[in-house]
């Protein structure tokens, strides 16, 4: 085992948390090598997960986590190495039922079919048949009701899956996996679209299922969640296993260092003590009222970074989208760098001087099959040619400048954005937002679903932009996104309820976001 690649266990207990070493692991992958052409996605990677654990798998985008999941679920065969479940070799790839009985993955993007009911999704292609081989829908609904009750999932089996919220869809997918007999569940970024209350409910259900003998592999970029819910953690970096340790034995600084290969930086604290905002106003919002918010008013100065915090449903995202023209307010005014853009018009907001990073990069941020160059320059056609004609050379030169500026890892500007890792995709979205040198930069959950290193880079870039005099509005519930802010405005139930100056404490901000008065 080379330096930096180690297994850490407490001196007083075996690595399996006290279980007998003779018990076979729920899943064990050893010596896994997977290549895609010249790219080595996994290089001798390994992981061992014991019965009843919640085991975290963390690492930067491109570390090999997704590839390992595809190997553990039988979607890809490793080029080298072995996978076993309960000490028995994994099934052949063609034996899909064999894989379903052993493992299931609940992905960040739901796999339920929205136009079918919950019962139909749970037993798709496994329907009860009555006389004449007709499907017995009563039998399907009865089986679904029994399954949901057995695993304490409070969902009506006759509800259309498209009417479920994110949390309910996740529980339905977990129940479906358990119905095949699987007792090993992979959760891929399960909290990315959940508010704090839903996350707490998810964690309670995970603990309940653990007690019933279900084992979880938990994949998340939110390291605090690893410490809240996980027993063990494995770190991958550059396609290799770096460390496996009990969570309680691995300090946060050591975990970040294992993921990045370097000590965590204190960059944002430096700005907090030295930054002096420029003079002027980048954004003025007055009396803004819409479906999910009311009478919202605030100002963002030139060179100032202002956070707009709040739990899901607080109205923070809707206010930010109104500022950039994705939504229209029923009342109120938005003024960007001295100009009042036409309400509900993204082009008008961009023309007034706004740059925008949307909440969902996959659906709003880029066109996946288009190149990096085309995506990064979508908002600046006037800089690429005249009379509606595109000068490809000019486009590529501009794109190459932005690729270098944002350290996008790519062999060239013509690579489709879909071929990039999540962190590099988000850098492309940021590049487009900065392409026209905006006076105001609006970011909604800018680091959601990106790795620690990319998060540090993107937030550092935001600071650099602010230091040039651009005002920044960050709408997020992620505390790391908000730490750099000069001020944080907290929204609760559609209204700005609290303003916090730089230097706030986590518990105060979270309490305000949840509508809790700590001083009552």
Which of 195, 475, 471 has its CA nearest to residue 322?
475
Identify the three-state secondary structure at position 471.
strand
Chain position carrying tokens 């000590």: 263
329 Cβ partners below 8 Å, 6+ apart? 288, 289, 290, 322, 343
3-state secondary structure of 402: helix
Q: What is the mean pLDDT of residues 190-203?
A: 80
User: What CA–CA distances, in Å, run from 305 to 299, 351, 481?
Assistant: 11, 21, 11
Delimiting residues of CATH 3.40.50.300 domain(s) in the chain: 6-112+182-260, 278-353+439-520
Q: Quick one: the chain helix, strand, coil %, rounded to 5?
A: 35, 25, 40
Q: What would the 3-class secondary structure string for 105-122 be?
A: EECCCCCCCCCCEHHHHH
How many other CB atoms are there within 10 angstroms of residue 463's CB atom?
A: 17
Confidence band, pLDDT 50/70/90 cuts, at residue 16: very low
Q: Which CATH architecture has domain 6-112+182-260?
A: 3-Layer(aba) Sandwich (3.40)
What is the distance, to the nearest Å, from the Cα of residue 467 to the centroid of all Cα atoms in its chain? Answer: 27
Q: Please say if the pLDDT value at position 12 is more than 50.
A: no
Q: For the ranges 19-28, 82-91, 303-312, 335-344, which has the lowest average pLDDT?
A: 19-28
Q: For 197-258, give the DSSP string.
A: HHHHHHHHHHHHHHHTT-EEEEE-S-HHHHHHH-SEEEEEETTEEEEEEEGGGS-HHHHHHH
- Which DSSP symbol is given to 416? B
Per-residue pLDDT at 17: 42
For β-strands 471-476 and 440-444, DSSP reports them as parallel
Q: How large is the average pLDDT for residues 375-399?
A: 73
Radius of gyration of the chain (CA): 25
Q: How far is CA 445 from the centre of its chain?
A: 9
pLDDT tens track for 126-145: 665 555 566 767 777 788 88
Report whether 298 contacts 496 (CB < 8 A): yes
Q: Which residues, in sequence order, are bridge partners of residue 489?
A: 308, 499
Q: Is 386 exposed, middle or buried (0-12, 13-18, 19+ CB in 10 A)?
A: exposed
User: For 72-99, what is each residue's pLDDT tens digit?
Assistant: 999 999 999 999 999 999 999 999 889 9
Do 23 and 51 meet the contact criterion of CB atoms below 8 Å apart?
yes
Please determine, for residue 235, whether its predicted confidence score (pLDDT) is greater than 90.
Answer: yes
pLDDT in tens, 469-501: 999 999 998 888 999 999 999 998 899 999 999
Question: Does the pLDDT of residue 277 top 60, yes or no?
Answer: no
User: CB burial class (10 A; 0-12, 13-18, 19+) of residue 156?
Assistant: middle
Q: In the predicted model, what is the mean pLDDT of the chain?
A: 83
Tens of pLDDT, residues 411-465: 888 888 888 888 888 888 888 888 888 999 999 999 887 877 888 889 999 999 9
Nearest Cα neighbor of 406 from 472, 461, 326 is 461
Instruction: Give me the sign of the Cα torsion angle 219, 225, 226, 229.
Output: negative
Please give the C-alpha separations between residue 134 and each of 124, 125, 230, 291, in angstroms, as whole numbers. 15, 13, 45, 46
The stretch 516-520 carries a mean pLDDT of 58
Q: How far apart are CA 474 and CA 441, in angstroms?
A: 8
Instruction: Show the tokens assigned to 292.
Output: 């999910």
Q: Report the alpha-carbon distance of residue 287 to residue 240 in Å, rounded.
A: 53
Nearest to 512 by CA among 288, 318, 314: 314
Q: What is the pLDDT of residue 289?
A: 95
Looking at domain 278-353+439-520, its CATH superfamily turns out to be: P-loop containing nucleotide triphosphate hydrolases (3.40.50.300)
Q: How confident is the model at residue 202 (pLDDT cuts 50, 70, 90)?
A: confident
Q: Is 206 left (phi over 0), alpha (psi -120 to 50) or beta?
A: alpha
In residues, how long is the chain?
520
Residue 171's pLDDT band (boundaries 50, 70, 90)?
A: confident
User: In sequence order, what DSSP letters do the residues of 297-332 get, joined into one string?
Assistant: EEEEETT-EEEEE--TTSSHHHHHHHHTTSS--SEE
For 349-361, what is each residue's pLDDT tens digit?
Answer: 999 999 999 887 7
pTM equals 0.56
pLDDT of 452: 78
Gap between the Cα atoms of 175 and 182, Å rounded:
10
With H, G, I as helix, E, B as strand and everything else as coil, classify residue 87: coil
C-alpha angle 360-365-369 in degrees, rounded to nearest 5: 115
Provide the pairing of β-strand 305-309 with 471-476: parallel
């Amino acid at each position: 085992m080379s330096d930096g690649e180690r297994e850490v266990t407490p001196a007083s207990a075996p690595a399996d948390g006290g279980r007998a070493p003779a018990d076979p692991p729920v899943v064990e992958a050893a010596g896994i090598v997977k290549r895609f052409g010249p790219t080595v996605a996994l290089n001798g990677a390994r992981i061992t997960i014991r019965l009843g654990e919640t085991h975290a798998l963390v690492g930067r985008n491109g570390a090999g986590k997704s590839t390992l999941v595809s190997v553990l679920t039988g979607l890809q065969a490793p080029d080298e190495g072995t996978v076993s479940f309960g000490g028995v070799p994994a099934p052949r790839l063609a034996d899909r039922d064999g894989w379903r009985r052993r493992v299931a993955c609940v992905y960040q993007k739901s796999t339920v079919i929205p136009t079918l009911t919950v019962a139909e999704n749970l037993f798709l292609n496994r329907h009860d048949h009555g006389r004449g081989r007709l499907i017995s829908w009563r039998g399907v609904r009865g089986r679904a009701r029994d399954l949901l009750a057995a695993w304490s999932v409070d969902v009506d089996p006759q509800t259309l899956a498209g009417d479920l919220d994110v949390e309910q869809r996740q529980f339905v997918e977990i129940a479906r996996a358990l119905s095949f007999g699987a007792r090993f569940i992979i959760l891929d970024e399960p909290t990315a679209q959940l508010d704090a209350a839903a996350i707490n409910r998810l964690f309670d259900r995970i603990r309940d299922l653990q007690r019933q003998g279900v084992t979880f592999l938990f994949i998340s970029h939110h390291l605090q969640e690893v410490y809240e819910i996980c027993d063990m953690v494995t770190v991958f970096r550059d396609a290799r296993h770096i460390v496996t340790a009990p969570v309680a034995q691995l300090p946060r600084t050591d975990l970040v260092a294992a993921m990045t290969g370097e000590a965590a930086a204190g960059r944002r604290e430096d700005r907090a003590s030295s930054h002096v905002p420029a003079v002027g106003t980048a954004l003025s919002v007055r009396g803004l009222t819409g479906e999910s918010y009311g009478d919202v008013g605030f100002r963002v100065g030139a060179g100032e970074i202002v956070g707009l915090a709040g739990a899901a449903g607080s109205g923070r995202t809707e206010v930010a989208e109104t500022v950039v023209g994705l939504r229209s307010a029923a009342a109120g005014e938005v003024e960007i760098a001295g100009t009042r853009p036409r309400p509900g018009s993204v082009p008008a907001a961009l023309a007034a001087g706004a740059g925008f990073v949307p909440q969902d990069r996959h659906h709003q941020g880029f066109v996946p099959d288009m190149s990096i160059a085309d995506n990064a320059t979508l908002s600046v056609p006037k800089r690429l040619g005249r009379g509606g004609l595109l000068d490809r050379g000019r486009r590529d030169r501009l794109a190459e400048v932005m690729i270098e500026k944002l350290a996008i890892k790519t062999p060239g500007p013509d690579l489709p954005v879909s071929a990039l890792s999540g962190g590099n995709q988000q850098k492309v979205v940021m590049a487009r937002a900065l392409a026209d040198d905006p006076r105001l930069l609006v970011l909604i959950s800018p680091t959601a679903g990106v790795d620690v290193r990319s998060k540090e880079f993107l937030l550092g870039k935001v600071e650099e932009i602010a230091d040039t005099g651009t005002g920044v509005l960050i709408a997020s519930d992620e505390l790391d996104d908000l730490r750099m802010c000069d001020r944080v405005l907290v929204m609760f139930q559609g209204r700005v309820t609290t303003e916090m100056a730089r230097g706030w404490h986590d518990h105060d901000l979270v309490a305000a976001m949840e509508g809790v008065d700590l001083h009552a």
